[in-house]
Amino acid sequence: MRARGRAKGTIRKKCLTIGADHLVTLTYRTNVEDRERVLHDLGRLRRALSRSGCSMPYVAVLERQQRGALHPHLAVKGFQDVRLLRRCWYKIVGNGQGQVNVRGPRPGSSPVKLARYLSKYISKDFDNMPREFEEHRYFCSLGVKVPTEKHEFVLDRSAKDVERKMYTLMRQEALRRVGVRCCLAEWMGGSGTYGWMAGFEDASIRWGNGSSQPVPITSSS
């Protein structure tokens, strides 16, 4: 189905954009089958984390178990404060009325594989969860933007310093297209033989000629 393929493709791109490498699973003790309630609770969790000073970009899908219960899986980047997550979640569902589990990256894992893991729930969703018009099958936090252009660089694997050359080419092309006042997000795989890089406009920093890191823009700059 084309709709299923589009949903899986979007999940993959968003997971790559945030560099997702951890999986957060939120559960209820009771048998919660109300989709709107789960989404409402997920929004409350995002706002509670934000008020606590925790920014946690995520890509989420819902899983429906055989007994009908729903719970969300969130792909996130980096280690998360599990105690803070549980404290916020318990305030929403009630103390002892739910659980938060965080799974870190496994050997050989990558944002692509994590996106593939989430996508399997999309397939289950199509089979088991009829949806109303314009209801989404995946969700993400605010500010997760997917690059709209894709460019490929092909280098001979036997070339000298292939990893460094590819990284330099990708960065130069991103800066050329987006501008020197931008934030770069990246992910490299295959021992540096493939990867992606995305640039987003950011007026607070600037890349200098030949610099490996951006510098903050001050009022006098």
Q: For the residues of 80-140, what is the DSSP string, one character each?
A: --HHHHHHHHHHHH-TTSEEEEEE-PPTT--HHHHHHHHHHHHHHHHHH----TT--S-EE
Residues of the chain with CATH 3.30.70.1910: 2-140
pLDDT for position 127: 53
Higher pLDDT, 36 or 201: 36
How far is residue 150's CA from residue 22's CA, in Å, rounded to a whole number?
A: 25
When pLDDT is averaged across residues 92-112 and rounded to a whole number, the result is: 82
How far is residue 192's CA from residue 115's CA, in Å, rounded to a whole number?
A: 20
pLDDT band at 183 (very low <50, low <70, confident <90, very high): confident
Give, in order, the Cα–Cα distances in Å from 30 to each of 46, 71, 93, 94, 125. 21, 11, 10, 11, 21
CB 102 within 8 A of CB 85: yes
Q: Which fold has domain 2-140?
A: Alpha-Beta Plaits (3.30.70)
In the chain, % of residues over pLDDT 70: 72
Q: Which amino acid is at 7?
A: A
pLDDT band at 103 (very low <50, low <70, confident <90, very high): confident
Q: Which amino acid is at 74?
A: L
pLDDT band at 133 (very low <50, low <70, confident <90, very high): very low
The whole-chain average pLDDT of the chain stands at 77
